[in-house]
Amino acid sequence: MKTLSLTPALWLVLVAVGCGPLESSPRSGLPAPDDAAAATPVASVAPALPPEPKNDDFLYLEEVTGEKALGFARAHNAVSEKALSAEPGFEALQTRLFSIYSSKERIPAPRIHNESLRNFWTDSEHPRGLLRQTTFADYKKPKPTWTTLIDVDALGKAENESFVYHGATCLYPQSTRCLVSLSKGGGDAAIVREFDVEKKAFVAGGFTLPEAKSRIFWKDENTVYVATDFGAGSLTKAGYPRVVKEWKRGTPLTAAVMIFEVKDTDVSTSCQREFDHDRKRDFCLRAIDFENSELFWRRDEKNVRIDKPDDADADIWDDELLLRLRSDWIAGSPAVTYKKGSLLATSLEAFVKGDRQFQVLFEPTKNSSLSEFNGTKTRLFLNVLTDVKNQVIAFSRKPGDKSKSRWVGVPLKESAGSVSVEPFDRHKSDDVFLWLEDFTLPPSLALWNPTSGKREPLKQNPSFFESGNLAVNQYFATSKDGTKIPYFEIGRKDRKGMVPTLLEAYGGFEISLSPGYSPSVGAAWLERGGVYVQANLRGGGEYGPEWHEAAMKHQRQNAYDDLAAVAEDLVKRGVTTPKTLGVMGASNGGLLTSVMLTQRPELFGAIVSKVPLTDMQRFHKLLAGASWMSEYGDPDKAEDWAALSKFSPFHNVKRGAKYPPMFFTTSTKDDRVHPGHARKMVAKLDALGHTPLYYENIEGGHGGAADIKQRAYVDALVYTFLATRLGL
């Protein structure tokens, strides 16, 4: 809702093909056949198998930039690139995808900053991007006139660095001084530099931070709150900041004064000043894990804890405290039970003084959950998912009313599968940018006034693939325990018989997959006659906290059973066959597909795991992995490892198993999910006689690519692999 969400979860993506199994020992030492030997049967001697590899044999692949590890990556890259780039149609697909990603007809996403409208833009001439601005009046023109603020490509060239833009935090209300984050190669860690918008230049002697996973926010023109790597003891075990300091302009970072700290077993922390409804309020967040946090109101140099449930997300709007619950909560006198997944509103001051009277703005049902909420000058906008389709509800307060019924909500009538709102200028207006899209409907942007109901069309994306003959349907598969699992199926209306099908899913961290327009899927898959399926597994947020909890820790197997159930349902319904069904996932979704490789390989004809987790015994020791133990469990605890060991892909690959063709991708610069996960999985598969393909982008971060050129190349490799293996 604000510049920085107050919810910790939102801080929060081979030895060569054709090499064959390892060669066996020759059958030497047998007598040469002669007449006598020919008359006497000779017992055959089985070839000797190579020794079973030990898991520690692959630890060298955890050395991110180790010479031997990078040699492994480059050798496998050469094989994979040679195999896939030589396929007919690869170059054409890469060119097509790059033309889509660099299209100048795309909607420039707008962000209002005082009297200016800013946008970060990439195209063929600027693959790393431009930070630019114009006026809103000019933005509405078919071809706005833009003023460039930062040219990331030119900056990287001038400084001989592979810069990737990671956003900017600007000082309210003028927004002419910004703290710009630039990653070297695309990882989460970034340098920070102060930028003067009026002079279009970085500020000499301004606020500057070296490369780290920093959190930095303005307090005033001469003061910032900074959480970064201050040296020994300043980071959590997950590698994020553990302490926050107040830093004055003109003083060295070493002189900054500590104002807040958390435990090293927590995920992270930060402090920031909220500029809201003519108020200035300071808050500090202790992110314990992805589900639990503590919020502190910094008043008179003291940190006053907001006494909310740890697993409730909190936000502040005007004079109200908003709480989204992750568990049932009994509060108030007389006591009232508030249902998990609900959104509650109350007076912030009254809550701090002990009052526990709330108005329930949203309560989940069996098939609905709260996706997100945003605030404007006088309104709140709730985005609700009902069977994975969006609906927006606009709430307004009765003037002067402080009762439990002061908020009144009116739903927005809209038929698009995906609807989202973004405040135009939350400080001055109730207008919102309204985004609409669906699997076959390109995004459109309008300005919506909720008072008058008027919509002003602003921009429309072109159709990047032919969709006139496509149909979108939703189905429900039955998982192993009887739970109904929704999935969307997109394919040609006139298709006959079973066709190559691509299944994609995520299933974790309470992240929902809703309908969306994907030009890459459309151009590389749907337009060529394939069927695309998006599954909404447990572990996600599609049906609220309960849906998420159903696949956490010891319940994790449910997500894998859900995906298998969708795959089986597609075959049962005659959409495809196991030989022509592929599955793809990234990050936690890459773990998902790697588990499918080891648990249910017979269901698929090809498997793609992008930036995956695979070693669930060491994930908490690698980069940001310690922050995910609330999701997966702690491998150092016997009861948790007992559950993790049953599905950890790295520990469950077997020699002699019949695995479908597989392709793993990662990035050397991914400092969130360690590239060692993919490397080790591939190396172990190699050692066991399998032939996976592997591609490691030397740049790119957790997204797998540092710019749109790299993205087009990697995507072309992936879709070429899927198409050739599944027969598209």
Buried b (16+ CB within 10 A) or exposed e, 443-464: bbbbbbebeeeeeeebbebeeb
Residue ranges of E strands in 650-721: 662-667, 693-697
CA distances from 21 to 72, 656, 692, 725 (A): 18, 10, 11, 19
Question: What burial class does residue 204 get, using C-beta atoms within 10 Å of its C-beta: 0-12 exposed, 13-18 middle, 19+ buried?
Answer: exposed
Q: Could you tell me the strand order of the sheet in which 444-448 lies?
A: 418-423, 432-437, 444-448, 455-460
Confidence of residue 47 (pLDDT cuts 50, 70, 90): low
Given this model, what pLDDT does residue 399 score?
82
Given this model, what pLDDT does residue 40 score?
37
Is 3's pLDDT higher than 80? no
Contact 232, 619 (CB under 8 A): no
Q: Could you tell me the strand order of the sheet in which 223-227 lies?
A: 215-220, 223-227, 243-248, 257-261
Question: What burial class does residue 2 get, using C-beta atoms within 10 Å of its C-beta: 0-12 exposed, 13-18 middle, 19+ buried?
Answer: middle
CA-wise closest residue to 487 among 415, 583, 577, 421: 583
Catalytic, out of 548, 620, 690, 702? 702
- For the segment 394-431, what is each residue's pLDDT rounded down to a tens digit? 999 988 888 889 999 999 988 889 999 999 999 999 99
d(CA 123, CA 104): 7
Catalytic, out of 80, 514, 587, 609? 587
Is 626's pLDDT higher than 80? yes
User: Does 587 qualify as catalytic in the annotation?
Assistant: yes
Contact 485, 478 (CB under 8 A): yes
Which structural domains are found in the chain, ordered by start? 471-726 (3.40.50.1820)
* β-strand pairing of 606-610 with 581-586: parallel
User: Does 418 qualify as catalytic in the annotation?
Assistant: no
Average per-residue pLDDT in the chain?
Answer: 92
Given this model, what pLDDT does residue 400 score?
83
> What is the three-state SS of 499-542?
CCEEEECCCCCCCCCCCCCCHHHHHHCHHHCCEEEEECCECECC
Contact 672, 11 (CB under 8 A): no
Confidence of residue 279 (pLDDT cuts 50, 70, 90): very high
Confidence of residue 48 (pLDDT cuts 50, 70, 90): low
Amino acid at 622: L
| SS3 (DSSP) at 249 | coil
